[in-house]
A and B are shown apart, each in its own frame.
Chain A
Amino acid sequence: MIDSLLACGLVLGGFALARALSARLGHPPWASPVLITALGVAGVLALLGIAPDRFAAAALPIRWLLGPALVALALVIDANRGLLRAQALPVLAAILGGAIVGVTTAIAGARLLGLDPLLVEALATKTVTTPFTVAIMKATGGPLPLAAALSVLTGVIGALTVPWLFDRLGWRDHAARSLALGVSSHIVGTDWLTRRDAKAGGLAALAFVLTGTVVALVLVPLWPFLFG
């Protein structure tokens, strides 16, 4: 109980500080509050000599809140109803195409590089956000904690690099950028985008929810053939 209060306090307090710092700097992608908080928490744990397992167990309440927060994303999706109605086909094509490329490049790339089989399984869900990763790994028996961590790390990397890449390419198309960030960098990318532009964030939220659903529905039945 005390462990949980301390762990949740550390994460929430750290996140509030990191967010304030990021806002002060003008929300640059490199100042990701999620990444800053994680590094800070890891530093505190190392300093105090607390085992990662003990922290993981103590921080369960805050992880659990991710479910209700996922439900709350309905607000941002609802804000994009107009665009959805007008461009349902291109939006669905983008999400399907992105999801297929995301899963196949991760598995094929990991195998080509000769990575540990457990790592290959964990990478299969890198393009879906953590709640979906958890559901898929529970259904398939894959490496849950590793996959969840890699999924968040993917989001951090995407939020740092995807907007930069699109700027370099001169792609200013708002909807395409939002969908691309939502599919490739899911919750972390969406969180970052929502702070700058709530409407774009809504489209990204829609993208990662649909991506997660599609990947979960397709990957679970295919799992025994891919990794059996």
Chain B
Amino acid sequence: MRAIVEILPGVGLCVVLALTGDVLAVRAGLAVPGAVLGLLVYVLWLASGRAIGWSRPGAALLLRWIGAMLVPALVGLQAYAARLAGALLPLALLLLVTTLVTALATALCFRLAGGRG
């Protein structure tokens, strides 16, 4: 019971910020997910140093389960099995190579711009 009381405010805050962001993004015709606007508000709120410690346990709980929320999308690949079957090898190679190249490019840009640490 106590655990629920601890996590509810944080989960509630994240839900409200995500929903508000969605409404604003649709109204403003923005092509960014509404949740990102909510994230921005929460980052600024945390950075403002105002006591918002009550939200931490709930937000931390959502973060611990973020991986589970991605599972349905990955399982959804099954529906494309037939379409992907013919292109499996080139697709796998392309995903692998472009992901590694992207990572290398990111690290190189950081270094070239003088990043350290």
User: Would you call A193 an interface residue if the criterion is a C-beta within 8 Å of the partner chain's C-beta atoms?
Assistant: no
In the complex, are the beta carbons of A70 and B73 less than 8 A apart? no
User: What is the bound-complex CA distance between A145 and B72, given in angstroms?
Assistant: 10
Give 10 A-B pairs besides A97-B108, A157-B96, A209-B36 with Cβ atoms closer than 8 angstroms.
A33-B67, A38-B75, A42-B75, A72-B59, A74-B59, A97-B105, A113-B87, A150-B95, A158-B100, A184-B106
| Complex interface: chain A residues within 8 A of B74 (CB) | 34-35, 38, 149, 152-153, 156
| Complex interface: chain A residues within 8 A of B13 (CB) | 71
User: What is the bound-complex CA distance between A123 and B102, given in angstroms?
Assistant: 14
User: Would you call B116 an interface residue if the criterion is a C-beta within 8 Å of the partner chain's C-beta atoms?
Assistant: yes
User: Would you call B63 an interface residue if the criterion is a C-beta within 8 Å of the partner chain's C-beta atoms?
Assistant: yes
User: What is the bound-complex CA distance between A55 and B83, given in angstroms?
Assistant: 19
Partner of A14, one of B17, B71, B91, B116: B71
> Who on chain B is nearest to A76 by CB?
B63
Which residues of chain A (144-164) have a CB below 8 Å from chain B?
Answer: 145-146, 148-158, 161-162
Q: Give the bracket for the number of chain A residues in contact with chain B.
A: 35 or more
Partner of A187, one of B14, B70, B103, B114: B70
> Which A residues form the contact surface with B (CB < 8 A)?
7, 11-12, 14-15, 19, 33-35, 37-38, 41-42, 45, 52-53, 55-56, 59-60, 62-63, 65-78, 81, 83, 87, 89-91, 93-98, 101-102, 105-106, 109-110, 113, 115-116, 118-119, 123, 126-127, 130-132, 134-136, 139, 145-146, 148-158, 161-162, 165-166, 171, 173-177, 179-181, 183-185, 187-188, 191, 194, 207, 209, 212-213, 216-217, 220
In the complex, are the beta carbons of B100 and A161 less than 8 A apart? yes
> Which B residues form the contact surface with A (CB < 8 A)?
10-11, 13-15, 17-19, 21-22, 25, 31-36, 38-39, 42-43, 45-47, 56, 58-60, 62-63, 65-80, 83-84, 87, 90-91, 94-117
| Complex interface: chain A residues within 8 A of B109 (CB) | 90, 93-94, 96-98
User: What is the bound-complex CA distance between A118 and B79, given in angstroms?
Assistant: 14
Q: List 10 A-B contacts (CB under 8 A).
A: A33-B67, A34-B71, A45-B75, A59-B71, A66-B69, A67-B38, A109-B94, A146-B80, A166-B107, A184-B106
| Complex interface: chain A residues within 8 A of B105 (CB) | 97-98, 101-102
User: What is the bound-complex CA distance between A74 and B108, given in angstroms?
Assistant: 26
In the complex, are the beta carbons of B72 and A56 less than 8 A apart? yes
| Complex interface: chain B residues within 8 A of A102 (CB) | 98, 102, 105
| Complex interface: chain A residues within 8 A of B101 (CB) | 101, 105
> Who on chain A is nearest to B74 by CB?
A38
In the complex, are the beta carbons of A72 and B106 less than 8 A apart? no
User: What is the bound-complex CA distance between A172 and B75, given in angstroms?
Assistant: 34
